[in-house]
């Protein structure tokens, strides 16, 4: 296991190249996420957002470049590094993946007992406090099938927090939810961000992205096309592909800025991909 200095960032990727067979999913991806930062990744389907999250969580190997998480260098790819990284990273998936036969509290307390060797009373006490924090204090003894999707996802967030991760990763945490439950989950994530939790969030919720992000990262076709302050990215993105994407997801809400940026060809909407998409 190689330990590197983490003073440059909690998550540091440099020149990462990732292929699935012949499909290149990440091309020369470099990214640094600092302590306390909320980085939000947006981009079209198939642009490599999930792959990036999975590489950071050591769920996917990569072929070139370096990935350093919490000071652990994943290049070696050995078991110890992978385990060490997973302990530093909390992951919230689109599907909540709770254990169906355990209560909310048992779901939250399980890993701290098994992995962090917390006593049952300590794990339960911390777990109850975390469920309180996500607004589910009254539901701690319910099983997942007695909870709504939004409540289950909040349990999943509490479960991730229970491992005291250095960084939380969210991959479209509200995509599987009924619309009326999206906000309750976004509010919890927003509160964590405001409280200084380091996080990387993949989302299609642009209003949320704009309000929660310290930095927006726009990806397309495996490349980080541009990144920056949300106000700038949403009001005057410098790349045409970013503007095209924002126009497509925000529809009439988005007016492409014209200030000083002229596009003579208005071919963005019909722009074809320059390589076949699997
Ligand atoms: N397990 C896999 N095997 C082969 N190709 C994959 C796999 N997962 C993703 N891909 C491909 O990698 C690219 C990026 O996918 P993904 O990271 O899921 O994008 P996003 O999350 O932005 O939709 C896509 O072309 C996708 O088809
Ligand atoms: Mg995805």
CB 82 within 8 A of CB 143: no
- Residues with CB in 5 Å of ion ligand 2: 49-50
Closest-lying ligand 1 atom to the alpha carbon of residue 21: 4
- Per-residue pLDDT at 250: 87
Ligand at minimal distance from the CA of 277 is 1
The alpha helices in the chain, defined as continuous H runs, are 49-56, 79-88, 104-114, 120-133, 149-162, 179-194, 206-212, 230-235, 240-250
Q: Is 20 in the pocket of ligand 1 (CB under 6 A)?
A: yes
Distance CA 154, CA 161 (A): 11
Buried b (16+ CB within 10 A) or exposed e, 170-199: bbbbbeebeeebbebbbebbeebbeeebbb
Give Cα 164 to chain centroid, integer Å: 16
Q: Which pLDDT value is given to residue 254?
A: 64
From first to last of its 278 residues, the chain has per-residue pLDDT tens of: 666 655 679 999 999 999 999 999 999 999 999 999 999 999 999 999 999 999 999 999 999 999 999 999 998 888 999 999 999 999 999 999 999 999 999 999 999 999 999 999 999 999 999 999 999 999 999 999 999 999 999 999 999 999 999 999 999 999 999 999 999 999 999 999 999 999 999 999 999 999 999 999 999 999 999 999 999 999 999 999 999 999 999 876 666 555 444 444 444 443 443 444 44
| pLDDT per position as a tens digit, 196-214 | 999 999 999 999 999 999 9
Whole-angstrom CA distances from 158 to 13, 58, 244, 276 are 27, 21, 36, 40
Task: Report the helix count and the strand count for the chain, using DSSP H and E.
Answer: 9, 11
The structure tokens 């726009």 sit at: 218
pLDDT at position 271? 40
Predicted confidence at residue 3, as pLDDT, reads: 65
Taking the centre of ligand 2 as the mean of its atom positions, its distance from the CA of residue 11, in whole angstroms, is 19
- Determine the residue of 25, 52, 93, 245 to mutate for testing ligand 1's pocket, defined as the one with the most ligand atoms within 8 A of the Cβ atom: 25
- How does DSSP classify residue 172? S
pLDDT (0 to 100) of residue 255: 63
By alpha-carbon position, which residue is closest to atom 20 of ligand 1? 46
Rounded Cα distance between 233 and 255, Å, is 13
* pTM, to two decimals: 0.89
Spatial CA neighbour of 40 closest among 53, 27, 58, 29:
53
Q: Determine the pLDDT at residue 75.
A: 87
């Amino acid at each position: 296991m190689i330990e590197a200095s983490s003073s440059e960032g909690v998550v540091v990727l440099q020149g990462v190249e990732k292929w699935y067979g012949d499909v290149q999913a990440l091309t020369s991806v470099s990214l640094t996420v600092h302590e306390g930062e909320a980085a939000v990744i947006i981009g079209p389907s198939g642009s490599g957002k999930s792959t990036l999250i999975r590489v950071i969580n050591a769920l996917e190997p990569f072929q070139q470049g370096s990935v350093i998480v919490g000071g652990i260098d994943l290049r070696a790819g050995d078991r110890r590094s992978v385990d060490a990284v997973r302990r530093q990273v909390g992951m919230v998936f689109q599907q909540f993946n709770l254990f169906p036969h355990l209560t909310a509290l048992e779901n939250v307390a399980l890993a701290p007992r098994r992995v962090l060797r917390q006593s049952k009373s300590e794990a339960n006490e911390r777990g109850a406090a975390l469920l309180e924090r996500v607004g589910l204090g009254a539901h701690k003894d319910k099983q997942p099938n007695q909870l709504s999707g939004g409540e289950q996802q909040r349990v999943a967030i509490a479960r991730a927090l229970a491992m005291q991760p250095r960084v939380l990763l969210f991959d479209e945490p509200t995509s599987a939810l009924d619309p009326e439950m999206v906000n309750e989950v976004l509010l919890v994530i927003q509160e964590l961000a405001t409280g200084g939790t380091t996080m990387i969030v993949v989302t299609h919720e642009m209003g949320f992205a704009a309000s929660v992000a310290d930095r927006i990262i726009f990806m397309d076709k495996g490349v980080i096309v541009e990144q920056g302050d949300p106000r700038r990215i949403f009001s005057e993105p410098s790349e045409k592909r970013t503007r095209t994407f924002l126009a497509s997801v925000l529809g009439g809400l988005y007016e492409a800025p014209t200030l000083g940026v002229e596009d003579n060809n208005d071919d963005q909407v019909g722009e074809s991909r320059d390589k076949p998409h699997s």
